[in-house]
Amino acid sequence: MKGLLSYMKTTILTSLEPLPYFTIEAVRQLSGNEETAPGTIRTALYRWMRSGHVIQLKKGVYTTRHFYELHRSDADFSMAVSAILIPQSYVSLEFILQRNAVLTEVTYPISAITVKNTRVIENTLGTFTYRHIKNELYRGYTITEYYGVLFAQASVAKALFDYLYLRPQTGNLKSSSNLAEELRLNLEEFSIADQDEFAAYVESSKIMKMGRILKNLRRAVWRH
């Protein structure tokens, strides 16, 4: 048992280091023995986590400390991890708005949209939030590949739509109000194309709240 675990650490763990994530099944396959006991694999993973060589992303899914340290600063790393945790999701909301300088005051966790249930996943890498949205609003994103992982991210216009749609309405959007100022949204630099894209999501959604928000933004910020 001890010899097998030592072998797994020196050979299998090294083989896993270039991968963005792996599963228990991957460890079993790399062992070269289909009959390797599940308990042996779980013991190896437990020891690797205790020694800091492996990080658990969620139950049954892991990454190596080597890959994390090497790529943690990559622009796409956190978004790829978000997709690993919940594949049917796209990064949006505060995370995308902050990346585009629409929100600037604080640092936000990774935030994503899914048609599945709203949930929060916390691990060593951080906090990942997933907000539910209905199927017909699940759009407005592009798909990118990162080390073999496909992840989706919203356009800045769709991230703004998702943010305002899921946020409880504040006030009654009177003609004298400025929603962008109240929510501290930096929307002055929104391009005409982004404004038009946001308006298209609003108009196709046929949601009265979003229609009132669009009218407010056009009056107070987007005067074109």
All structural domains of the chain, each given as residue ranges with its CATH number in brackets, are 2-69 (1.10.10.10), 77-220 (no CATH)
Question: Please, where are the H alpha helices in the chain?
Answer: 2-7, 13-16, 24-30, 38-50, 65-71, 77-85, 93-99, 156-166, 179-182, 192-205, 208-220
Terminal-to-terminal C-alpha distance of the chain: 72
188 contact partners, CB below 8 Å, separation of at least 6 = 221
| Tens digit of each residue's pLDDT, the chain (224 residues) | 454 555 565 688 889 999 999 998 888 888 766 656 667 788 888 889 999 999 999 999 999 999 999 999 999 999 999 999 999 999 999 999 999 999 987 777 899 999 999 999 999 999 999 999 999 999 999 999 999 999 999 999 999 999 999 998 655 666 668 889 988 999 998 999 999 999 999 999 999 999 999 999 999 898 76
**Residue 177: both structure tokens together:** 């109000």
Cα–Cα distance measured from residue 199 to residue 27, given in angstroms and rounded to the nearest whole number: 48
Which pTM value belongs to this model? 0.89
